[in-house]
Amino acid sequence: MDGSLTMKGAADAPFYLAQGDECDVFAAAARNGLPVLLKGPTGCGKTRFVAHMAAQLGRPLYTVACHDDLSAADLIGRYLLKGGETVWVDGPLTRAVREGAICYLDEVVEARKDVTVVLHPLTDDRRILPIDRTGEEIEAHPDFLLVASYNPGYQNILKTLKPSTRQRFIALEFDFPRAAHEIPVVARESGLSEDRVAPLVRLAGKLRGLKGQDLEEGVSTRLVVYAATLIRQGMPVERAVQTAMIEPLTDDPDVKSGLRDLVTAVF
**Residues found near ligand ADP in the complex (CB under 6 A):** 15-17, 40, 42-48, 177, 185, 189, 221-222, 225
CB of 137 to ligand ADP, least distance (A): 32
Name the H helices within the chain.
22-32, 46-57, 72-76, 92-99, 113-122, 163-166, 179-190, 194-208, 221-232, 237-241, 253-266
Give 46 or 168: the residue with its C-beta nearer to ligand ADP. Answer: 46
Which residue type occupies 225? Answer: V
Nearer of residues 94 and 149 to ligand ADP, judged by Cβ? 149
Length of the chain: 267
- Distance of alpha carbon 202 from alpha carbon 66, whole angstroms: 32
Residue 107, sorted as left (phi over 0), alpha (psi -120 to 50) or beta, turns out to be: left
Question: What is the per-residue burial (b if ≥16 Cβ within 10 Å, else e) of 133-164?
Answer: eeeeebebbebbbbbbbbbeeeeeeeeebeee
For ligand ADP, give the closer residue by CB, 170 or 265: 170
Residue number with CB closer to ligand ADP (74 or 106): 106
Smallest separation, CB 31 to ligand ADP (Å): 22
* Min separation Cβ 2 and ligand ADP, Å: 19
Query: What is d(CA 153, CA 40) in angstroms, rounded to the nearest whole number?
Result: 7
End-to-end CA separation in angstroms for the chain: 45
- Return the residue nearest ligand ADP (CB atom): 45
- Residue closer to ligand ADP, measured from CB, 87 or 180: 180
Q: How far is the CB of 228 from ligand ADP (least distance, A)?
A: 10
> Rounded CA gap, 54 and 29, in Å?
12
For ligand ADP, give the closer residue by CB, 13 or 235: 13
- Comparing CB distances to ligand ADP, the nearer of 74 and 189 is 189
- Closest separation in Å from C-beta 48 to ligand ADP: 4
CB 135 to ligand ADP: min, Å: 36
SS3 state at 102: strand
CB of 16 to ligand ADP, least distance (A): 4
Query: Are 41 and 218 within 8 A, CB to CB?
Result: yes
- C-alpha to C-alpha distance for 249 and 261, rounded to whole angstroms: 15
When the beta carbons of 144 and 174 are compared against ligand ADP, the nearer one is: 174
Q: How far is the CB of 159 from ligand ADP (least distance, A)?
A: 16
239 Cβ partners below 8 Å, 6+ apart?
230
Axis-axis angle for helices 221-232, 194-208 (nearest 10): 140
